[in-house]
Amino acid sequence: MTEKEVFEELMHRIRCLQDKKQKVVLVGINGIEGTGKTVFCSKFTQYLQSHQINAIHVSIDGFHNTKEIRYKQGRDAAKGYLEDAYDETAFADKVLKSSQDKQPVFTEKIHDLETDELLYLEPIKLTPTSVLLTDGAYLFKDIFLPYWDLKIYLKTDFQVALQRGIERDAAILGGAEQAKEKYKNRYHLASAMYIHECAPERKADIIINNTDFENLVIEK
């Protein structure tokens, strides 16, 4: 399927959810590191906006823990990345839970990854017709599951995701070899742990094989 065809199918599902729920619709887009979640989420958000849907992309990357917490198990520890990378409670409370209140709001971010400073931003108001879309590597953990109205899993082969990750992050990780080691020993090892512990494909409402950007396949 083309990207447009997939987006049309997903938009139909979201419109049905809006009609049924009459509250902010929450969409979680999950997948291993390097699968293309952020690009997919951003483009899908723009697609929805172009069809008069009040879609907002809020990234869990704005909810990183400080370095002191993120690296307490070791800077390269995969288990530490899985367990300590994000302030999951804050994201659940300040985005997912608060968006379902009578006066729905969400907080865009609580942490600046570049400066490692905590942020104290005013919540942003939503309307009941809003759609919040989030992409992240661990969104189908139990702490988040009760909130999602639509759970989308982007399925990509680890080797393909590794190459995408290297291309994306080599510059910020010190080069291609350093990026390769970081993905293998921290990011993708953490992803494998997450898959084993949380079974995201089983929890997903929709699985999209994202291995070939030009030929997406809806598997579920």
| pLDDT tens per residue, range 117-144 | 999 999 999 999 999 999 999 999 999 9
- Within 10 A of 107 (CB to CB), how many other CB atoms are there? 21
Place of tokens 């969104």: 139
Q: Is the separation of the CB atoms in 151 and 140 below 8 Å?
A: yes
CATH superfamily of the domain spanning 3-207: P-loop containing nucleotide triphosphate hydrolases (3.40.50.300)
pLDDT in tens, 3-31: 999 999 999 999 999 999 989 999 999 99
For position 181, what pLDDT does the model report? 83
Of the candidates 34, 59, 206, which has an alpha carbon nearest to the alpha carbon of residue 134? 59
- 47 is written with which tokens? 């697609």
- 60 is written with which tokens? 């869990």
What residue ranges do the domains of the chain occupy?
3-207
pLDDT (average), residues 99-121: 96
Q: Is the separation of the CB atoms in 80 and 73 below 8 Å?
A: yes
CA distance 185 to 193: 12
**Does pTM top 0.85 for this prediction?**
yes
